[in-house]
């Protein structure tokens, strides 16, 4: 099949979960013989052009403002896509929903991954929140298939908009990197630091995490990996809140990210936005105990592989839960033992690629669609799991 992946910043992944998802999916589909194109933002990825691990890259500009960057780049990408005779056009981000009907005019089958509850993100003002809400309403009209990354989001679209979605989780790789070059680079010791990775945006709760950690008496450190454009004020706030035990690395990719993840004592994800976080799955794949807000979407992923803090009273409970996991290394170790098995049992990237390959083919030929869970239990899905 000829497949286009649109709406993200592009690959190789250097920003967020959608970029990681596109990289993992695109490279695997190419290895299976499909022709895959990913649309990159030319100002964001400047050093990789033309192709990446067999994936065709189309680099296009964008209007570089917080509110227009995604939509303007997706618009240009869509115009280019109209001339390419794609079988499948896969979009991410619900804010792109006003555009995704266009490839249908030239015969492409169109999917839209609506992600989490994007309108709840604190970075948006009143107008942007209203726009995101409107995009949720029209998404089911403009795309032929809506993809939900969690069953919580699937229920949200059904209850609010009577819109059917197909649940497909993100995946993770079960890997570890025992090297310690990254630890020496940032002056930390194995199992002597808590770990956060994600974008520097208010809804991710990094300020809550830093305040909670800095109020504890501990000789552990807190390693904070990430950054974000258009977030200078928030970054200044985080730096102001931090003491000398908080280590900011900026973006970290490849072996740096793998080593910092592999040697963490525990990983913390305080985000308040519903939806599956690929970074959370990553940390389980690295074999980490995780501490998360007690939302239904987080419980869906973490199960008994971590600990929870009360999202209704986070300022009081997060410090208490941090103290608890620091003081209970045996419980942390037990969670670590279960984490990788959780990924192997359900969230493998290879299985998710199997499902998308099957879904795209069903769309292309007009066959009935199936859910991820049903596919895994079908003869073809079960046979692939066994092998």
Q: Does the pLDDT value for residue 273 go beyond 80?
A: no
- 58-86, pLDDT tens digit by residue? 999 999 888 899 999 999 999 999 999 99
Nearby residues of 69 by Cβ (< 8 Å), 6 or more positions away: 41, 62, 63
Beta sheet of 246-250, edge-to-edge order? 246-250, 221-225, 193-197, 266-269, 290-293, 306-309
| pLDDT score of 123 | 57
- 123-144, pLDDT tens digit by residue? 557 777 788 889 999 999 999 9
Token digits of residue 188: 């930390």
What is the DSSP annotation of 97-121?
TTTTTGGGGGT-EEEEE--S-GGG-
Distance from chain centroid for Cα 180 = 26
The CATH superfamily of 2-171+348-386 is Glycogen Phosphorylase B; (3.40.50.2000)
**Domain 181-345, what fold?**
Rossmann fold (3.40.50)
| pLDDT score of 253 | 85
Q: Does the pLDDT value for residue 154 go beyond 70?
A: yes
| pLDDT score of 384 | 57
Q: Matching CATH topology for 2-171+348-386 and 181-345?
A: yes
| pLDDT score of 122 | 54
| pLDDT score of 17 | 81
Read off the pLDDT of each residue in 297-302 and give the average, rounded to a whole number: 91
| pLDDT score of 272 | 79
Q: At 162, phi and psi to the nearest 5?
A: 55, 40
How many helices, marked H, and strands, marked E, lie in the chain? Answer: 15, 14
Q: Does the pLDDT value for residue 37 go beyond 80?
A: yes
- Asked whether 35 and 56 are in contact (CB, 8 A), the reply is yes
User: What pTM does this model have?
Assistant: 0.88
| pLDDT score of 379 | 78
Q: Where are the domains of the chain?
A: 2-171+348-386, 181-345
- 204-257, pLDDT tens digit by residue? 999 999 999 999 999 999 999 998 887 889 999 999 999 999 999 998 988 999
Write the CA distances from 46 to 9, 36, 40, 227, 300, integer angstroms.
11, 20, 9, 18, 37
């Amino acid at each position: 099949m000829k497949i286009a992946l649109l709406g993200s910043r592009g690959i190789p992944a250097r920003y967020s979960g959608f970029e990681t998802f596109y990289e993992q999916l695109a490279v695997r589909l190419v290895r299976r013989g499909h022709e895959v194109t990913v649309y990159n933002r030319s100002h964001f990825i400047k050093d990789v052009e033309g192709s990446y691990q067999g994936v065709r890259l189309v680099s296009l500009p964008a209007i570089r403002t917080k509110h227009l960057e995604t939509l303007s780049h997706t618009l240009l990408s869509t115009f280019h896509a109209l001339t390419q005779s794609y079988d499948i056009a896969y979009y991410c981000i619900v804010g792109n929903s006003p555009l995704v009907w266009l490839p249908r005019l030239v015969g492409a089958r169109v999917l839209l991954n609506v992600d989490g509850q994007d309108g709840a993100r604190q970075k948006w003002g009143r107008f942007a929140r209203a726009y995101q809400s409107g995009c949720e309403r029209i998404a089911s009209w403009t795309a032929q298939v809506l993809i939900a990354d969690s069953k919580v989001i699937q229920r949200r679209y059904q209850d609010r908009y009577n819109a059917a979605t197909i649940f497909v989780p993100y995946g993770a790789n079960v890997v570890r990197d025992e090297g310690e070059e990254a630890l020496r680079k940032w002056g930390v010791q194995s199992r002597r630091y808590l770990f956060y990775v994600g974008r520097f945006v208010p809804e991710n709760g990094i300020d809550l995490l830093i305040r909670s950690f800095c109020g504890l008496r501990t000789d552990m450190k807190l390693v904070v990996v990430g950054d974000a454009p258009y977030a200078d004020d928030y970054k200044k706030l985080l730096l102001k809140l931090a003491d000398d035990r908080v280590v900011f690395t900026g973006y970290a990719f490849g072996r740096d990210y793998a080593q910092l993840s592999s040697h963490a004592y525990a990983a913390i994800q305080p985000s308040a936005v519903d939806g599956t976080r690929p970074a959370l799955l990553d940390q389980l794949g690295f074999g980490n105990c995780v501490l998360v807000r007690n939302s239904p979407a987080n419980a869906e992923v973490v199960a008994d592989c971590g600990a929870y803090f009360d999202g209704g009273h986070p300022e009081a409970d997060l410090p208490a839960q941090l103290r608890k996991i620091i003081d209970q290394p045996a419980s942390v170790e037990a969670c670590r033992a279960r984490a990788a098995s959780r990924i192997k049992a359900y969230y493998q990237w290879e299985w998710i690629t199997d499902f998308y390959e099957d879904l795209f083919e069903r769309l292309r030929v007009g066959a009935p669609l199936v859910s991820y869970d049903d596919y895994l239990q079908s003869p073809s899905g079960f046979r692939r799991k066994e092998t």
